[in-house]
Amino acid sequence: MTETTAETIRIVEVGPRDGLQNETAIIPTATKVSLIERLADAGHCCIEATSFVSPKWIPQLADASEVFSAIEKRPGVRYQVLVPNLQGLERALAVGVREIAVFTAASEAFSQHNIHASIDQSIERFRPLLDRLQGTGVNVRGYVSTVLGCPYQGAVPVADVVRVASALQALGCYEISLGDTIGVGTPRQARALLCAVAEVVPMAQLAVHFHDTRGQALANVYACIEAGVRVVDASVAGLGGCPYAAGASGNLASEDLVYMLHGCGYRTGVDLDRLVQVGRWISTELHRENGAKLGRAWKP
């Protein structure tokens, strides 16, 4: 793949939301805002900024309105927020959000444990949101969790993932992110699942989101890129995981992903030196080890 013909992989940076929501100590609003702005300065074009969820469920993100309002918005950067219900949507719209994400699962057991509702009920809850957004120009992205395994029921049938992804597309989601929430998938599994979903949802509308719990995330991403996916979720410094899945800490680190993609000849628009510095900075701010292998090894 030559420089002139290199394809672009779009990275959705989920660190500020999916990454920070697991932190137990409340992070200052100014730190969250600085993280988002530094990620934009590093070249990220899609950043999941926060979630308008009830503070009762995730106290860390209680300052969602303040964070989103304080961000210095960069031209060409999309700032996505997670919205669980109509109340959250109204809060998001009040501060000028132009892209939201909705979240469901492919595992019935996980859905019940996570949001105390069935999968079908969770999808029905999204209908008022989509109706409210008619004519507003606000885009909606869909997340499907536990696509390769569930901490409660174990294996998840591929047909269930296909059904849920198809339902989100039918609702109006422009893109559906397939998430291996507990990091159990391996490359052949990941590729087969992606291809099965792509039979009913066009590949151009799919993204992948792998947790690195068992060290398989980069291999899974590469297998899915070879299969045709061109959007990948990742988290700076490997921040985050899933608060509802024991042992699932550790998103794929954005630094490691960008290093691999650039080494394979793909474009990302991300400045790797700057991104590594962001990862090191936020790791210091949070008093935690940098989860990115490149963050520990990189010498500009």
| Three-state SS sequence of 35-46 | HHHHHHHCCCCE
Residue 2 domain-assigned (yes or no) = no
Residue 41 domain-assigned (yes or no) = yes
Residue 3 domain-assigned (yes or no) = no
3-state secondary structure of 281: helix
Q: What is the Cα–Cα distance from 84 to 81, expressed in whole angstroms?
A: 10
Q: Give per-residue pLDDT as tens, 87-142.
A: 999 999 999 999 999 999 999 999 988 778 899 999 999 999 999 999 999 999 99
3-state secondary structure of 235: strand
Residue 4 domain-assigned (yes or no) = no
Residue 188 domain-assigned (yes or no) = yes
Residue 15 domain-assigned (yes or no) = yes
Residue 264 domain-assigned (yes or no) = yes
Q: Is residue 242 annotated as a catalytic residue, yes or no?
A: yes
| pLDDT confidence tier of residue 226, bands split at 50, 70 and 90 | very high
Domain that holds residue 293: 10-297
Per-residue tokens: 126 = 């999204």
Number of domains in the chain: 1
Residue 153 domain-assigned (yes or no) = yes
3-state secondary structure of 197: helix
| pLDDT confidence tier of residue 252, bands split at 50, 70 and 90 | very high
| pLDDT confidence tier of residue 4, bands split at 50, 70 and 90 | very low
Q: Does residue 3 register a pLDDT over 80?
A: no
Q: State the CATH number of the domain containing residue 138.
A: 3.20.20.70
Catalytic residue (choose from 46, 150, 242, 264): 242
